[in-house]
Amino acid sequence: RFGLMAGKRGVVMGIANDHSIAYGIAAALRAHGAELAVTYQGTAFERRVRPLAEALGSNLILPCDVAEPDSMAEAFAEIGRKWGRLDFLVHAIAFSDKGELKGPYIETSRANFLRTLDISCYSFTDAARHAAGLMDQGGSMLTLTYAGSYRVMPRYNVMGVAKAALEASVRYLAADLGPRAIRVNAISAGPMRTLAGSAVGAARYVYRYSRDHAPLRRNVQLADVGGAGLYFLSDLSGGVTGEVHHVDSGFNIVGMPESDPAAV
C-alpha cells in the first residue's frame, strides 16, 4: 500500500461504532496505507466493531477492557506475538457514570472520581508503556481530549478533571519517551455526536452553542479529526511532541461570542 502511513503498523483503541472518533482516525490512517490492530471494550461491543475493523483491513481484532488488570497486557502481548513491533497508538477511550455528568461537579463521588480517572486517564499511560515496549524504531501516540479540561463546560464535571490529568500525562509521557524518538500528542476535539459525547448531560446545548459561536460556524466532523490524526501519527508531525492541538472549528479562541452570530 502507498501513502503517508505506508509500512506503518499501529493499534487503535476506542472504536465502539462508526460515529466513534477512533473510527474516523482509523479510516484516515487506513486510506493512507496503515496496517491496523483494533481493540474493543468487550463482547458487547465485538458484534459492531469486528465488521468495521475488517472493512479497515484489520486481521488483529482484540478485546481490551482497560479497567481489567490483565486485559491490556494480554492484548499487547498478542500484538507483540503477531507483529513483533509497532509504529503508532491511538487512544480514544473515556468513561464516567452518566449520573454524575449532570448536576454540579461538587457532588462527584469518590468511587466515580477514581473510576473516571482510571479509565479516561490512567489507561493512556498504561497503553503508552505497553506500546512503547514494541516501538523499537520510534513511534507516535495520540489521545483525545476536550476543552473542559481548562475551562468549565456545562455538566462536563469530573470528566474535565480527568482530561486535565490526561493532558498533563501527555506532557510527562512525551518527556519520558522523547529520547526514544516516540512522540506523544493529544487532539482537543470540539463536541461531536458519539456514544460518549451524548452521555454528558448538556450535550445537545453544548453541541449547538459551539456550532453557533465557533469561527467556522459548524461542528467538527470525523474527517476533520481524522486528518489531524493522520498528521500526528505520520512523519508530517516529526518535530511535534507533548502538544494539545485543537480541532474545534476555532471555538477555543473566542473570548466573548457575538450575541447573535447570525447577524455578523
The residues binding ligand NAD (CB under 6 A) are 14-16, 20-22, 41, 45, 64-67, 92-95, 119, 144-146, 189, 191-192, 194-197
Q: Which residue is nearest to ligand NAD (CB)?
A: 197
* Calpha distance 145→94 (Å, rounded): 9
Q: Are 148 and 163 in contact (CB under 8 A)?
A: yes
Q: Looking at beta carbons only, is 66 or 233 nearer to ligand NAD?
A: 66
Query: What is d(CA 62, CA 74) in angstroms, rounded to the nearest whole number?
Result: 9
Identify the CA nearest to 193 among candidates 225, 150, 234, 160.
225
Is 156 part of the annotated catalytic residue set? yes
Distance CA 158, CA 149 (A): 9
Closer of 32 and 163 to ligand NAD (Cβ): 163
Phi, psi for residue 108 in degrees, rounded to 5: -60, 130
Q: Which helix (H) or strand (E) holds 182?
A: strand 182-189
Task: Count the neighbouring beta carbons within 10 Å of the beta carbon of residue 71.
Answer: 18
| Closest separation in Å from C-beta 7 to ligand NAD | 27
146 catalytic? Reply is yes
Which residue lies nearer to ligand NAD by CB, 180 or 193?
A: 193
Which of 23, 40, 146, 231 is catalytic? The answer is 146
Which is nearer to ligand NAD, 135 or 158 (by Cβ)? 158
Bridge partners of 91, per DSSP, are 13, 143
Tell the smallest beta-carbon distance from residue 6 to ligand NAD (Å).
26
| Minimum distance from residue 1 beta carbon to ligand NAD (Å) | 25
- Catalytic residue of the set 23, 156, 207, 231: 156
Cβ of residue 131: shortest distance to ligand NAD, in angstroms? Answer: 15
Catalytic residues, by residue number, are 146, 156
